[in-house]
């Protein structure tokens, strides 16, 4: 059985300004499950999008060979015609159609344009039974839970009898029992000779199901191992092993008194009923401290900050103490009044208002401060905004420029200016340097150091390991909504390996 | 050579001063129309005719000005026509049936608008239901309510000469009061939009609701206030009409909702919220009145009216798109 089925050779893919994949090589044998592991942004998903035809063949360099025959995919359809089926991380189901219709969407059985429902339901029932699901095939998908939907999308791919099945983090929405089912289905498929690419950052699963594993990091394939011959420790080191550049002006500061304490923070999962994305988390923050929050995507990091800030209210449980006094934060306004500022991860979604000017964006969180009664004091507004613009070195013709015309880094500075104008004591930063250039990054770090020196305390969520390790005095690592490790500069146990270990739930 | 140079400067001037303004989409067609009609018919610019145009502009503008703020806040309202009719009928009913004095009757009319506004706000803001459908439904309900209660007959017999002043009286025997009222309302709305916290909040909410919320802006309260304000001003417009026709017309404002919204959009207010101007909306309303008036003067059938307005609506969006694409390339 050990014959080569798929070969991806020298795949290189560039996004504007970023090299997403750099000479990636992967070989998949017939009837094997190949694990692909790596950090956030290692290039796993990009690689799979190339294999599944989401990127046109002209957009990348390199070759794909199936059975030693070169192939070119210009659409998802091309890839499917070659027997490649992808099960996506995010669910793509028609929520208001039935289970059966979803399973066979695109190739409903029937003749002359009419659907043969008897045949449809019969085939659907077989698939549902294979997935060990106890649901009627006429059920509307919206009424199912996300685990069931995830298994259905797997079965939809299986129903097309693929040669190669690609799974991208398939267990994110699954419970323990459902993971077992998934593993059984995959084993059966393997026995039938189907090959499978299994992307996951959960090493436990990789060990459980895969024959071999490929480690990716920074858009490259680092190594390939037989799963029998490799220890977890080695995989972790290969996933993180990266040199840290010296662009962090972190100064040694002695954190002062406690300024913020959060107790028993619990946030329900937005899409999975009955699951908590943040599960009974407690932490403290000291004056002048930078507290880093690490963990993988979906571990509940952003939700922690958002919930404390009052962004989410529904069914959130928390106790918040500022300077040892309990405070009620039911909405963002109360958070601001308590001296908290919040730079969110999604700049476009909830950071800026596109069509407004730099000035108008900056004064948004400070309307009370710059107004006399109803009226905005335009002179005061201009002065305050001008002060931020020059201290943050925002590059723009003037402060009336609409933010839509600014670069990502400058937009981020405008958002920072908005919060600094409010003179916060506590600043929440969620992926503060995501998608901005190196120069502006360095500016950001300098500003952070300056702020902590003046007594501001910062909580920073970051997936950028060097940034997290260099800037934080202390790091909390979240895994599955719980704190799974606390590393401190003082104890000297901040290292990529330690963070990664905690993040994958070791 | 010299000619070419001059052309370029004119070109630059045109682009800088006119085309880059958000009101460009309405201003250019309006200017063209004024020139053409004025050229064809000398009476067009006679004082009485101009006042006539302004008078009809004033009624639409009393609704369009607050509606501009609502649309900047990413809202929409199809019930403006129905709220107008209700305000007029209720006020007329107060005068003719209840025999109330003028001021209480006007207050009663405004109150009916306030109630409509509250119901609308509750459904659209509090329960976050789609404004298009909700206000469409409200329109039907109000229209029917008016027909049922009045039997479809206008509320007449007001027998109150003082009340007529609002819609029929003139300053210096020339300029109708509603024109002056509309100007005051326009200035008021402009000041609110540009110079107050409330106005800035409207722009922020319309531009990005989530950002506004995270910046500590009271999104629900702000939206409630503007939704209700619009309905109250509609009722006021209805009261003015009641005074003008000396009766509460059951069909006052019928079919105007889309025209007025179109006038606001022609004036450069984004359908998706965030930006817009009161001046633009004024020009939009003026355009409507000019088309009407001009066609009559030129002895063209009024059946052409909507076609011309529709064409200008489409053209103005093109101008707006051109303006945006030009602006996007500036920095």
Query: What is the tens place of the pLDDT at every residue in A90-120?
Result: 667 888 888 888 888 877 888 888 888 888 8
Question: Which is it for the CA torsion A346, A350, A355, A360, positive or negative?
Answer: negative
Nearest residue, CB atoms, B216 vs list A332, A396, A402: A332
| Torsion sign (Cα): A122, A127, A130, A133 | negative
Q: Please check whether residue B267 is in contact with residue B282, taking contact to mean a CB–CB distance below 8 angstroms.
A: yes
Tokens 């009757």 label which residue? B105
- Averaged pLDDT for residues B288-292: 90
- Compute the mean pLDDT over every residue in chain B, rounded to the nearest whole number: 88
Contact A342 B200 (CB under 8 A): no
pLDDT (average), residues A159-181? 84
Q: Are B274 and A309 inside 8 Å of each other by CB?
A: no
Residue of chain A whose Cα is closest to the Cα of B273: A355
3-state secondary structure string across A365-388? HHCCCCEECCEECHHHHHHHHHHH
The whole-number pLDDT of residue A324 equals 92
Higher pLDDT: A348 or A263? It is: A263
Cβ–Cβ gap B200/A368 under 8 Å: no
pLDDT in tens, A274-322: 788 899 999 999 999 999 999 887 788 889 999 999 998 888 999 999 9
pLDDT category of residue B169 using cuts at 50, 70 and 90: confident
- How large is the average pLDDT for residues A229-257? 73
Which of A367, A375, A406 faces B201 most closely, judged by CB atoms? Answer: A367
Contacts of A331 in chain B (CB under 8 A): 213, 216
C-alpha closest to that of A164 among A67, A98, A264: A67
d(CA A388, CA A327): 29
Alpha-carbon torsion (B200, B203, B206, B209), positive or negative:
negative
Closest-CA residue of chain B to A352: B211
- Summarised one tens digit per residue, pLDDT across range B201-232 is 999 999 999 999 999 999 999 999 999 999 99
Separation of alpha carbons A472 and A289, rounded Å: 8
Mark residue A431 as left, alpha or beta (left: phi above 0; alpha: psi -120 to 50; beta: remaining).
Answer: left
Whether B79 contacts chain A with CB within 8 A: no
**Average pLDDT of the residues in B87-94:** 94
Looking at CA atoms only, how far is residue B217 from chain A in angstroms?
7
CATH number for the region A4-240 comes to 3.40.50.300
ipTM here: 0.82
Mean pLDDT for B258-273 is 88
pLDDT tens-place string over residues A196-225: 999 887 788 889 899 999 998 888 898 899
The residues of chain A that CATH labels 3.40.50.300 are 4-240, 258-339+426-432+457-506
Contacts A332 to B, Cβ<8 Å: 213-216
Residue A225 contacts by C-beta under 8 Å, 6 or more apart in sequence? Answer: A212, A213, A215, A234, A235
Q: How far apart are CA A101 and CA B291, in angstroms?
A: 54
Interface check for B201 against chain A (CB to CB < 8 A): the answer is: yes
- The pLDDT, as a whole number, for residue B331 is 33
Q: Tell me: pLDDT of A195 over 80.
A: yes
C-alpha to C-alpha distance for A447 and A219, rounded to whole angstroms: 30
Bridge partners (DSSP) listed for residue A86: A166
Predicted structure pTM score: 0.77
Contact present, B214 and A422 (Cβ < 8 Å): no
Sign of CA dihedral A13, A14, A20, A21: positive
Encode pLDDT of B190-201 as tens digits. Answer: 999 999 999 999
User: What topology does CATH give the domain A258-339+426-432+457-506?
Assistant: Rossmann fold (3.40.50)
Average pLDDT, chain A: 87
Out of A216-220, B90-94, B326-330, give the one with best mean pLDDT: B90-94
Q: What is the pLDDT of residues A51-74, one digit of tens each?
A: 888 888 888 889 899 888 888 888
Residue A407 has a CB neighbour count (10 Å cut-off) of 14
> What is the topology classification, in CATH, of domain B23-318?
ABC transporter involved in vitamin B12 uptake, BtuC (1.10.3470)
Which of A162, A19, A153, A27 has its CA nearest to residue A83?
A162
Q: What confidence category does residue B8 fall into, taking pLDDT thresholds of 50, 70 and 90?
A: low
What's the pLDDT at B19? 64
Q: Where residue A146 falls among pLDDT bands split at 50, 70, 90?
A: confident
CB pairs under 8 A between A and B: 85
User: Which pLDDT value is given to residue A38?
Assistant: 82
Q: How far is B325 from chain A (nearest CA, A)?
A: 12
State whether A378 and B196 contact (CB < 8 Å): no
Tokens of B53: 């145009």
pLDDT over threshold 90, residue A337: yes
Band (B1; pLDDT cuts 50, 70, 90): very low
B198's CB contacts (< 8 A; 6+ apart) are A374, B192, B222, B225
- Listed in sequence order, the DSSP H helices in A203-309 are 203-209, 232-240, 301-309
Q: For residue B129, what is the DSSP state?
A: -
The yes-or-no verdict on residue A89 having pLDDT over 70 is no
Distance from the Cα of A498 to chain B's closest Cα (Å) equals 34
Per-residue confidence at B233, pLDDT binned at 50, 70, 90?
A: very high
The mean pLDDT of B126-135, rounded to a whole number, is 92
- Angle in degrees, 0-180, between the axes of helices B256-266 and B80-96, rounded to the nearest 10: 130
Contacts of A365 in chain B (CB under 8 A): 215-216
Contact between residue A465 and residue A499 where contact means Cβ atoms under 8 Å apart: yes
Q: Kindly report, residue by residue over A398-426, the tens digit of the pLDDT.
A: 888 888 888 788 899 999 999 999 999 99
pLDDT value at B180 more than 90: yes
Report pLDDT for B79: 94
Report residue B238 as tokens.
């209805």
Q: Greater confidence, A434 or A271?
A: A434
- Whole-number pLDDT of residue B10: 58
For A348-371, write each residue's pLDDT tens digit.
Answer: 888 899 889 999 999 999 998 898
SS3 of A398-442: CCCCEHHHCCHHHHHHHHHHHHHCCCCCEEEEECCCCCCCHHHHH
Looking at residue B3, its pLDDT comes to: 46
pLDDT at B204: 95
């Amino acid at each position: 059985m050990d014959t080569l089925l798929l070969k991806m050779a020298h795949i290189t893919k560039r996004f504007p300004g970023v090299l997403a994949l750099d000479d990636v090589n992967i070989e998949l044998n017939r009837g094997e499950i190949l694990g692909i592991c790596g950090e956030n942004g290692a290039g796993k998903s990009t690689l799979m999008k190339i294999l599944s035809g989401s990127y046109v063949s002209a957009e990348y360099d390199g070759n794909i060979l199936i059975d030693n025959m070169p192939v070119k995919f210009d659409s998802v359809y091309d890839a499917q015609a070659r027997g490649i089926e992808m099960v996506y991380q995010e669910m793509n189901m028609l929520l208001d159609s039935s289970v059966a219709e979803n399973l066979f969407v695109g190739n409903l059985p029937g003749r002359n344009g009419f659907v043969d429902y008897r045949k449809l339901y019969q085939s659907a029932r077989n698939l549902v039974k294979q997935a060990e699901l106890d649901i009627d095939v006429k059920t509307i998908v919206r009424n199912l839970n996300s685990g069931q939907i995830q298994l259905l999308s797997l079965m939809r791919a299986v129903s097309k009898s693929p040669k190669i099945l690609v799974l991208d983090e398939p267990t994110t929405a699954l419970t323990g029992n459902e993971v077992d089912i998934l593993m059984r289905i995959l084993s059966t498929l393997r026995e039938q000779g189907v090959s499978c690419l299994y992307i996951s950052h959960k090493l436990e699963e990789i060990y459980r199901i895969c024959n071999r594993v490929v480690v990716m990091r920074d858009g490259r394939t680092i190594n390939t191992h037989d799963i029998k011959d490799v220890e977890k420790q080695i995989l972790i080191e290969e996933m993180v092993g990266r040199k840290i550049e010296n662009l962090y002006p972190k100064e040694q500061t002695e954190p002062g008194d406690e300024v913020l304490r959060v107790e028993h923070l619990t946030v329900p999962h937005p899409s999975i009923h009955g699951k908590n994305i943040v599960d009974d988390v407690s932490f403290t923050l000291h004056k002048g401290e930078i507290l880093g929050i690490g963990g993988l995507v979906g571990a509940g990091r952003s939700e922690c900050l958002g919930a404390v800030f009052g962004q989410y209210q529904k069914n959130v449980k928390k106790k918040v103490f500022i300077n040892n006094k309990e405070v009620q934060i039911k909405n963002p306004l109360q958070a601001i009044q308590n001296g908290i500022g919040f730079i969110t991860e999604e700049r476009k979604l909830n950071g800026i208002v596109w069509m407004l000017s730099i000035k108008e964006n900056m004064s948004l969180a400070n309307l009370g401060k710059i107004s006399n009664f109803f009226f905005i004091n335009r002179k005061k507004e201009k002065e305050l905004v001008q002060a931020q613009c020059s201290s943050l070195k925002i590059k723009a013709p003037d402060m009336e420029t609409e933010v839509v015309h600014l670069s990502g880094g400058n937009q981020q500075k405008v958002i920072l200016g908005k919060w600094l104008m409010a003179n916060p004591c506590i600043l929440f930063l969620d992926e503060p340097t995501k998608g901005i250039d190196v120069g502006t990054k360095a500016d950001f770090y300098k500003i952070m150091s300056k702020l902590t020196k003046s007594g501001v305390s910062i909580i920073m969520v970051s997936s950028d390991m060097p940034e997290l390790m260099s800037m934080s005095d202390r790091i909390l690592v979240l895994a599955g909504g719980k704190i799974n490790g606390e590393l401190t500069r003082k104890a000297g146990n901040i290292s990529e390996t330690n963070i990664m270990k905690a993040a994958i739930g070791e | 050579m010299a000619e070419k140079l001059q052309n370029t400067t004119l070109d630059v001037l045109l682009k800088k001063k006119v085309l880059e303004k958000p009101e460009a989409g309405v201003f250019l067609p309006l200017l063209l129309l004024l020139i053409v009609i004025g050229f064809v018919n000398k009476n067009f610019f006679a004082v009485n005719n101009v006042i006539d145009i302004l008078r009809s502009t004033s009624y639409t503008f009393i609704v369009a000005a607050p509606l501009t703020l609502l649309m900047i806040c990413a809202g929409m309202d199809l019930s403006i026509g129905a709220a107008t009719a209700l305000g007029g009928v209720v006020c007329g009913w107060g005068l003719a049936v209840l025999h109330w004095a003028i001021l209480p009757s006007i207050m009663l009319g405004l109150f009916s608008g306030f109630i409509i506004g509250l119901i609308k706000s509750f459904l659209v803001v509090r329960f976050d239901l789609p404004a298009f459908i909700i206000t469409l439904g409200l329109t039907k309900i109000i229209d029917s309510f008016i027909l049922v209660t009045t039997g479809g007959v206008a509320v007449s017999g007001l027998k109150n000469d003082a009340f007529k002043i609002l819609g029929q009286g003139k300053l210096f025997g020339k300029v109708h009061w509603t024109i002056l009222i509309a100007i005051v309302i326009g200035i008021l709305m402009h000041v609110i939009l540009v110079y107050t916290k409330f106005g800035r909040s409207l722009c922020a909410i319309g531009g990005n609701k989530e950002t506004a919320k995270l910046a500590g802006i009271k999104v629900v309260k702000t939206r409630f206030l503007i939704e209700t304000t619009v309905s109250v001003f509609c009722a006021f417009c209805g009261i003015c009409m009641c005074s003008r026709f000396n009766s509460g017309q059951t069909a006052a404002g019928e079919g105007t909702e889309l025209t007025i919204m179109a006038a606001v959009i022609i004036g450069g207010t984004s359908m998706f919220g965030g930006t817009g101007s009161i001046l633009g909306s004024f020009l939009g309303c003026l355009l409507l009145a000019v088309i009407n008036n001009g066609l009559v003067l030129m002895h063209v059938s009024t059946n052409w009216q909507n076609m011309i307005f529709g064409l200008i609506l489409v053209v103005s969006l093109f101008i707006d798109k051109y303006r945006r694409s030009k602006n996007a390339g500036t920095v």
